[in-house]
Structure formats: C-alpha cells, structure tokens
Structure 1
Amino acid sequence: MLKGQATPYLTFDGNAQEALDFYAKAFGAEIQEVKKFGEADFPTPPEAADRIMHARFSKGDFLIMVSDSFLGQPVNIGNNVSLAVTFESDDEIQAVYDVLKEGGTTHMELQDTFWNSKYAKVQDKFGVIWNLDFPKG
C-alpha cells in the first residue's frame, strides 16, 4: 500500500533557479536542497554546470520539487499537468494569486464560486497551471 502523497515535480529549461525564487516568494516557502549538475560525480559539460539537477521548496507540509532538464532534453510546456493548492484564509489565497498572475495568464479570476469560498486558475510566467482553492466552511 502506498503511504503519503505524490509530490509534484516541475522541470524547466535552464530557468529553474528563477522559478524557485519566484515560487518561494509567491508561497512564502523555503528553498531547499539545491544541487546543480556541475556538482554531480559524473562528467558534465560546462554549459550545464549551473543548471539545477534537483531542488525543492516547501512550507509546512506543502512541497514541490524542481529541476532543469539536462542539455538536449527538451521541455514541453503544456496543459496536461496542473497543481491544486488549498489555502486556509482569504488573505493567503489573494496574496499567492497576486504573485502568480504577474507575467502569466489568468484562466479564471479569483472569485467566489458555488463549490468553494474562493477559486482561481492561473498559468504563471513559466507555463505552470495553478488551481487555487479556499474551501467553504
């Protein structure tokens, strides 16, 4: 039997550090475990040395892992993956929404809905789609 939850893993094309900084700001999270390809114990081309091989950011139980792709491995941005985040307050969802929409596309404005107190759907400037949710109750 599986234990725990699946952890979202986001892959970028050379801009993972920028994304880490952006998401840490948006969620008030801590960046952890930043390891670069240049630190690995296998030969790495100089142009890949500063790319992030693995990193994560978290706040409490909220955890997301990120990396850059290795050279020659394309990253396809699409709509087949989105992340759902549940918030505990109206102020918290508003603050995250305000940051994520900067340079991105709002698919659904932050608003009251019949299923939740607040909901928004935003594709951020990196192409990641976020479902932001503040439940009723």
Structure 2
Amino acid sequence: MQYIKKWYNKKHNKMQIQAYLAFNGNCQEALNFYAELFKAKIQNRQSYEDKKIDVPSSYRQKLQHAELVGKGVHLMAYDASPDTPINHGNQIHMSVEINDKNEAEQLFNSLSEGGKVHHNFREREWGYFGRCTDKYGINWMVNSNI
C-alpha cells in the first residue's frame, strides 16, 4: 500500500474527488440549469446514440456521459439506462463554499426553488449555511463563512 501511495503522489502530486450525478432521463435539462447557475460549460457530451449498449431507441439521445466545467466546478453526469433504477436518497450532497454571503444566499434560493429546503439559509456558528434538495433530487449544502 505504501508503494502505491508513493507512486500516485509522485506521478500525480494530488488527488481530486469529483461528483458523478445520475439522472432518470433529464440529465441534459439538469446540466443546462447548473451551467447557467454556476456560469459553467457542458463538455465531453456523449449520448447513447452510437454506443453498443442495450437501451431502447427512445433513449438513444439521452446522455451516457457529460461534464460540467467552470471556475471551481467540475461535475460529471449521465442518464442511467432504464434498467438501472435511480433512488433519491441522502448518499450524496454537493457542497458549495462561497465567500460572499449574498451570492451564497442567492445560489441557495435558486437551488432550492422547486425542490425542498431542509435547513433554511441562515447564520450558524461557523458562518452562513443552508441545505436543500433541488428539483432534480440532488442534495446541496451551501456555506459562506463571511
């Protein structure tokens, strides 16, 4: 194990962890929403169209893979094939840190619109915080320490 750590650190010099979001056929819609909200771009967009994967023809235009990339943002996402059930749960929370309280509150309000607020955006011991589930079933925590 120690050898693997040394090899990885020497070769890559860092570790990056990203979220990979799964959707039930509305991945493009969700990415469009997030792209506008975070001022990011959708990249590496691949549909099921030319893939040798057993999905219905009505699902071929759905996204097999896409990435949302911008300043401080890099998410990966896809539409799970129809035979892969997606269950909304609390296994994943996306956490956003913003140094501007007003910007953080505006972002929280946009994310929670049409979704569910679990903790209102308000002052806490460490700064300002709010937790919600957006209209696509993704859980978000928005923090601002200013």
Structure 1 counterpart of 2:85: 74
Task: Note the C-alpha offset of 1:132.
Answer: 0.4
Query: What is the DSSP-based 3-state SS (H/G/I as helix, E as strand, rest coil) of the residue aligned with 1:38?
Result: coil
Q: TM-score, length-normalised on structure 2?
A: 0.84
Task: Note the C-alpha offset of 1:123.
Answer: 0.6
Structure 2 counterpart of 1:48: 59
Letter in 2 for 1:107: H
Q: Distance in 2 between matches of 1:91 and 1:28?
A: 17
From 118, 121, 127, give the equivalent of 2:131: 121
Sequence identity (%): 29
Letter in 2 for 1:64: L
| In the alignment, structure 1 residue 21 sits paired with structure 2 residue 32 | yes
Gaps of 5+ in 1: none
Gaps of 5+ in 2: 9-13
Q: Which has the higher helix share?
A: 2
Report if the CA contact (8 A) 2:101-2:145 is conserved.
Answer: no
Which aligned runs of 4 or more in structure 1 are off by greater than 6 angstroms?
none
TM alignment of 1:105-120, pairs within 5 A: 105-116=116-127, 118-120=128-130
1:104 to 1:33, Cα distance in 2 relative to 1, 3 A: same
Deviations 1:49-75 (A, max 9, x none): 111000111222321111000121111
- In the alignment of these two chains, the number of paired residues is 134
